[in-house]
Amino acid sequence: MTIRKALPPDLDRVEDCARQAYAPYVPRMGKEPAPMVADFEARIAADNLHVLELDGEVAGFIVLYPRGDHLHVENVAVSPAGQGRGLGRRLMRFAEDEAGRLGLPAIELYTNVKMTENQAFYPALGYVEIDRREEDGFSRIFYRKEF
């Protein structure tokens, strides 16, 4: 298992991973979640996207960047074939390591209220809910973890 910065040739594999990972939420939400239609090409160009490779395949990815006093995790996804194997936890550990490397004392992220699995996942990793609000047409829950 390797986590590395995404490169332009990874674009199709990242987009495919996002489509697969977020497809189950479309019926719940009645529309595609924001991560399914994100501009991954721009995130790769900005060096904000890292891929998790497993056996030579993109099994997941994370989009993160500094924002104010914290590292912002904009998107984290694991392909259905990789789910249940601790890859999401590994990506979040990577984010925490990056925050430390950058000297940032916290990570913030959000999830959609319809993504109920995440409402157990993030608190189990030590993230605390800090807000709930409508943003960009989505009902979101915001979390923060301080180190």
- Render pLDDT for 64-120 as a digit per residue (tens, 0 to 9): 999 999 999 999 999 999 999 999 999 999 999 999 999 999 999 999 999 999 999
Q: In the structure, what pLDDT confidence band is assigned to residue 33 with cuts at 50, 70 and 90?
A: very high
CA angle 51, 56, 62 (to 5 degrees): 10
Question: pLDDT category, 50, cuts 50, 70, 90?
Answer: very high
Residue range of the domain that includes 99: 2-146
| Domain harbouring 66, CATH code | 3.40.630.30
- pLDDT at residue 140 in the model: 97
As a whole number of angstroms, the distance between CA 119 and CA 55 comes to: 30
Mean model confidence pLDDT for the chain: 96
In the chain, the number of structural domains is 1
Of 11, 124, 135, 107, the closest CA to residue 61 belongs to 11
Global pTM value = 0.96
Please give the average per-residue pLDDT across 24-34, as a whole number: 95
List the structure tokens of 94: 């990577």
Question: Closest Cα to residue 55, out of 82, 78, 77, 94?
Answer: 82
pLDDT at site 74: 97
